Amino acid sequence: MNNPAILTPTEARTLIREGKWNKPTSGMAAGYTQANLAILKKELAFEFLLFCQRNPKPCPVLDVTEAGSPVPQLIAPDADIRTDIPAYRVYKHGELVDEVPDILSYWEDDMVAFLLGCSFTFEQAMLKNNIPVRHIEEDCNVPMYQTNIPCIKAGRFEGPMVVSMRPVPEKDVVRAVQVTSRFPAVHGAPVHVGNPASIGIRDIHRPDFGDSVTVKEGEVPVFWACGVTPQAVAMHMKPEIMITHAPGHMFITDMHEEQYSVL
């Protein structure tokens, strides 16, 4: 695929479903909202929904499926969340046990899928404002880090916030905050700017998820809340099973990014 940015969401999901795209989805179907995935058994669904409601920065809910249904009716009614993501992670009792291209063999009739907003959505707005997005430039995954910022507990769910990082030239930091603040449904404004150690990140060149990117002279690391947070929570809470997207491998919705923007 020479230019994945021009794909429609349906075309992008078809490529993924057919196994023709197994890379991170940043830059695919430009202008359309991407989503994180978290799948749990129905018995835990209310507690997780409450966790998301209490932690809207890392876990902004875009859609929740009916129990047993793989179809996200609100954001992509012709999609199947079991096959339309390039890579999935399967956690059992808090341990990562598998990474697979589909979850047909894991799906059960009492499962509920949560689609959460993703910061890939506002990257086109950053680019339109001449703010660089380094992982797109370097054709790799966005770097993500576990922090010392605690999420607000809900039922049995608790754990640390995960953040994504994009290096921004010092002169553009204020503009980056303004641009991304328009998208509260997909993490919105940064949660931290500057010193990584202040939020518990020991080495910015060794992310917990994703890939390391170049931070150039005159650039500042800027951190946004990240929808990989449920994976950190899963490792802490240890549910019987939790299925998520592999970091950076998102679900592409039918919703245009401007539908989630604040004017």
pLDDT at position 235: 81
Q: Rounded mean pLDDT of 53-81?
A: 96
The percent of residues above 70 in pLDDT, for the chain, comes to 99
pLDDT at position 185: 85
DSSP tag of 127:
H
| CA gap 261, 263 in Å, rounded | 6
| CA gap 206, 63 in Å, rounded | 32
Q: Rounded mean pLDDT of 75-103?
A: 96
DSSP string, 226-248: -TTHHHHHHHHH--S-EEEEPTT
Same-fold call for 34-117+237-260 versus 120-229: no
Query: What's the pLDDT band for 132 if we cut at 50, 70, 90?
Result: very high
Q: Does domain 120-229 fall into CATH 3.10.580.10?
A: no
pLDDT at position 131: 96
DSSP tag of 27:
T
DSSP E strands in the chain: the ranges are: 32-41, 61-64, 88-92, 95-100, 111-117, 144-150, 160-169, 192-193, 219-225, 242-245, 251-256
For the chain, the domains span 34-117+237-260, 120-229
| CA gap 15, 13 in Å, rounded | 5
**Predicted structure pTM score:** 0.88
**Which strand (E) or helix (H) includes residue 73?**
none
Is the confidence at residue 212, as pLDDT, over 80? yes
Read off the pLDDT of residues 151-205 as tens digits, 9 standing for 90 and up: 999 999 999 999 999 999 999 999 999 999 999 888 899 999 999 999 999 999 9
C-beta of residue 210 within 8 angstroms of C-beta of residue 25: no
Q: Tell the CATH topology of 34-117+237-260.
A: PSTPO5379-like (3.40.1640)
pLDDT at position 263: 63
| CA gap 236, 74 in Å, rounded | 30
| CA gap 64, 116 in Å, rounded | 9
How big is the chain by its Cα radius of gyration, in Å? Answer: 17
